[in-house]
């Protein structure tokens, strides 16, 4: 329990952000599983996943370097599929 009004507000803000970030991370994980589970993922699936990764990194939900690493692996898979 927060001792001050400002601490209570920070706790409320933290909960809001946590729920929003969790939904984005869950969506990313689901998309990655869908792309990874298929033998030959379509280019549209990979592009959609790359876009979602960029948006998550832009908001600070995942780290920039982690986003670059994931995108590099996806682009490598996309090039190999062609």
CATH node for 5-81: 1.20.58.110
Q: What is the pLDDT of residues 29-81, one digit of tens each?
A: 999 999 988 888 888 899 999 999 999 999 999 999 999 999 999 999 888 87
Task: Give the end-to-end CA distance of the chain in Å, rounded to a whole number.
Answer: 56
- Where do the structural domains in the chain lie, given as residue ranges? 5-81
d(C-alpha 4, C-alpha 23), whole Å: 29
Pair 67, 60: CB distance under 8 Å: no
Question: What pLDDT score was predicted for residue 1?
Answer: 79
CB 56 within 8 A of CB 28: yes
No. of helices (H) and no. of strands (E), the chain = 3, 0
Model's pTM, two decimal places?
0.82
């Amino acid at each position: 329990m927060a001792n001050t009004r400002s601490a209570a507000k920070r706790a409320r803000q933290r909960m809001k952000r946590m729920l929003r970030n969790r939904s984005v991370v869950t969506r990313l994980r689901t998309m990655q599983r869908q792309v990874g589970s298929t033998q030959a993922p379509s280019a549209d699936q990979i592009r959609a996943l790359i876009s979602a990764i960029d948006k998550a990194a832009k908001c600070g939900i995942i780290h920039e370097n982690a986003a670059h690493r994931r995108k590099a692996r996806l682009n490598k898979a996309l090039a190999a599929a062609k």
